[in-house]
Amino acid sequence: MSIFKKETEALSYTVKDKEIKCGHCGNNIFHRSYSRIEPVNVFTFAPNPADCYICASCGHVEWFVPDEEKE
Ligand SMILES: [Zn+2]
């Protein structure tokens, strides 16, 4: 099972009124996903939980921590 499940069709999204652009290829079309990575997972390198946007072009993942999860 992938931790990066594509839960939406490919769309453009904004965070804090700024359009998300892929940090790798510059594309602005993403699949959205919501990740809750278990703390014991060896791949725990990202905030838990996090909003994930998967670039529809190259597959690069952009991560955003929801406001209520920030310290
Ligand atoms: Zn990309």
CATH number of domain containing 28: 2.20.25
Distance, first Cα to last Cα, the chain: 30
For residue 55, with 0-12 CB atoms within 10 Å meaning exposed, 13-18 middle and 19 or more buried, which class applies?
buried
- d(CA 70, ligand 1 centre) in Å: 26
- d(CA 59, ligand 1 centre) in Å: 6
Give me the phi and psi of 4, to 5 degrees please. Answer: -115, 60
Percent of the chain whose pLDDT exceeds 90: 45
- d(CA 13, ligand 1 centre) in Å: 14
Question: Given pLDDT bands bounded at 50, 70 and 90, which one contains residue 59?
Answer: very high
Question: Given pLDDT bands bounded at 50, 70 and 90, which one contains residue 67?
Answer: confident
pTM over the 0.85 mark: no
3: in domain: no
28: in domain: yes
31: in domain: yes
- d(CA 10, ligand 1 centre) in Å: 12
6: in domain: no
State the pLDDT at residue 33: 85
